[in-house]
Amino acid sequence: MIPLREIFDNDLFSEQDIRSQIEEYEIHELIDQWDTLNPDEKFTIFKYLDHTEKTDFLLELPVPDQEQLFQVFNGKQIDQLLGDLQPDDLVDIIQTVSEDVKKLLWEKLSDEAKRETLYLMRFDEDDAAGIMNPRYMAVSDRINVGQAMAFIRKNAADVESIYNIYVIDKKQVLVGVCSLKELLSANDAELVRSIMEDEFISVREDTDQEDVAKILETYDLVSLPVVDAGNVLLGIITFDDVIDVIREEQTEDVYKMGAMGGGSNRYLDTTVWGLVKKRIPWLIILLILGTISTNVVAHYDLVFRNALLATTFLMVFMPVITQTGGNSGSQSSTLMIRGLATGEIHFRDFWTVIFKELKVGLIIGLITGLVIFGRSILFPPNIAITHSIIVGIALGCVVVFSTLIGALAPLLIHRLGFDPTVMSGPLMSTVIDVCGLTIYFEIAWHMFKLISG
Q: Which of residues 321-380 bind a copy of itself (CB under 8 A)?
A: 322-324, 326-328, 330-331, 333-339, 342-346, 348-349, 352-353, 356, 359-360, 363-364, 367-368, 371-372, 375-376, 379-380
The reply on whether position 9 binds a copy of itself by CB under 8 A is: no
Query: Contacts with a copy of itself in 204-233 (CB under 8 A)?
Result: 214-215, 217-220, 222
Nearer to a copy of itself, 318 or 422 (CB): 318
Say how many residues touch a copy of itself, by CB under 8 A: 119
Q: Where are the alpha helices (DSSP H) in 73-127?
A: 75-84, 87-96, 99-108, 111-121
The reply on whether position 190 binds a copy of itself by CB under 8 A is: no
Q: How far is it, in rounded angstroms, from Cα 8 to Cα 86?
A: 33
Query: Contacts with a copy of itself in 127-186 (CB under 8 A)?
Result: 152-153, 156-157, 162-163, 180-181, 184-185
Nearer to a copy of itself, 114 or 346 (CB): 346
Q: How far is it, in rounded angstroms, from Cα 345 to Cα 4?
A: 48
Give 400's strand partners. none
The reply on whether position 2 binds a copy of itself by CB under 8 A is: no
Q: How far is it, in rounded angstroms, from Cα 345 to Cα 212?
A: 20
The reply on whether position 47 binds a copy of itself by CB under 8 A is: no
Query: Contacts with a copy of itself in 406-445 (CB under 8 A)?
Result: 424-426, 429-430, 433, 437
The length of the chain in residues reads 453
Nearer to a copy of itself, 153 or 415 (CB): 153
Provide the minimum distance between the beta carbon of 92 and a copy of itself in the complex, in angstroms, as a whole number. Answer: 13
Query: Contacts with a copy of itself in 266-295 (CB under 8 A)?
Result: 266-268, 272, 275-276, 279-280, 282-284, 286-288, 290-291, 293-295
Least Cα distance to 333 among 443, 440, 256, 246 occurs for 256
Provide the minimum distance between the beta carbon of 445 and a copy of itself in the complex, in angstroms, as a whole number. Answer: 16
Q: Is residue 233 within 8 Å of 164, Cβ to Cβ? A: no
Longest dimension (CA), the chain: 98
The separation between CA 203 and the C-alpha centre of its own chain, rounded to angstroms, equals 21
Q: How far is it, in rounded angstroms, from Cα 18 to Cα 48?
A: 10
Give 139's strand partners. 167
